[in-house]
Amino acid sequence: MKVKFLGTGTSQGVPVIGCSCEVCNSLDYRDKRLRVSVHLEIDETNLVIDAGPDFRQQMLRERISRLDGILLTHSHKDHIAGLDDVRAFNFLQKEGMPVYGTKKTLEQVKKEFYYAFEEQKYPGTPVLRLNEISETDFEFRGIIKIIPLPVLHLHMPVLGFRMGDFSYITDANFIPDATFEKLKGTKILVLNALQKEDHVSHFNLEGALIQARKIKAEQTYFTHISHKMGLHRSVSKELPDSVFLAHDGLSLTL
């Protein structure tokens, strides 16, 4: 499995429009964060978790010319807004794009992209093949086992996903005991860590570190990072040896 971080930023991205803080003014490429998303290449299958507003830019930057499916964690705009741009893959691959999400998430997709589901579709609209999932394990095309990881984003249910030794959780501030059981044995964990200060619906840095110690993955990478976290180079020095800040373009191989 190859993992590529397409975006590691929070809903506003980094830099933030109109902000003049040291992070938003940083020249370090690791402080430039598109909206959160990750690309997985498993054997010859290409999957993306979430398709936010920067989806097109991310596909172009990484020169991704084939995509087999999209997994959605939840329905917030910074995780689904780029779905219109799957049109390019529809044209290239001559088929609809499989999109996986919970019933509530897919209902929101139908509202946001209503024109893609009309009986009389306008030519060139995206073709989205919606697949409803729950908290039950499922297989992608019968070859990749995907384990949903239920978490809470304040009061909103969100799904993380585990494939093999890789687990991915974003937009969470509570992990239930049952999900901790599903995380046992994870070698690489990706977890959201928004900022150092407390936040109502996301783990802050301290909270994410507490979860990382509990899960005990060999390596943990924090994502969904805001400009309030601080400079990448400075925060990285404060972290334990097995914990890292992810950055856009970072690649991992399992």
- 8-23 pLDDT, tens per residue? 999 999 999 999 999 9
Q: Across the chain, what does the average pLDDT equal?
A: 97
Rounded Cα distance between 234 and 188, Å, is 23
For residue 22, which phi and psi values (nearest 5 degrees)? -65, -30
Q: What is the pLDDT of residue 121?
A: 87
Span 52-73, mean pLDDT?
A: 98
Rounded Cα distance between 16 and 11, Å, is 10
Q: What is the pLDDT of residue 60?
A: 98
- 125-136 pLDDT, tens per residue? 999 999 999 999
pLDDT above 90 for 214: yes
Residue 195 CB neighbour total at 10 angstroms: 18
Span 44-72, mean pLDDT?
A: 97
Q: What is the pLDDT of residue 215?
A: 97
Rounded Cα distance between 50 and 72, Å, is 5
Residue 125 contacts residue 115 (beta carbons within 8 Å): yes
- 76-119 pLDDT, tens per residue? 999 999 999 999 999 999 999 999 999 999 999 999 999 999 99
What's 49's DSSP letter? E
Prediction pTM value: 0.96
Span 225-235, mean pLDDT?
A: 98
Q: What is the pLDDT of residue 84?
A: 97
- Give the distance from CA 216 to its chain's centroid: 21
Q: Is the dihedral of CA 4, 90, 139, 74 positive or negative?
A: positive
- 172-212 pLDDT, tens per residue? 999 999 999 999 999 999 999 999 999 999 999 999 999 99
Span 47-65, mean pLDDT?
A: 98
Domains of the chain with bracketed CATH? 2-244 (3.60.15.10)
Q: What is the pLDDT of residue 123?
A: 87
Rounded Cα distance between 176 and 145, Å, is 21
Residue 116 contacts residue 126 (beta carbons within 8 Å): yes
Structure-token match 């992608």, residue found: 140
pLDDT above 90 for 230: yes
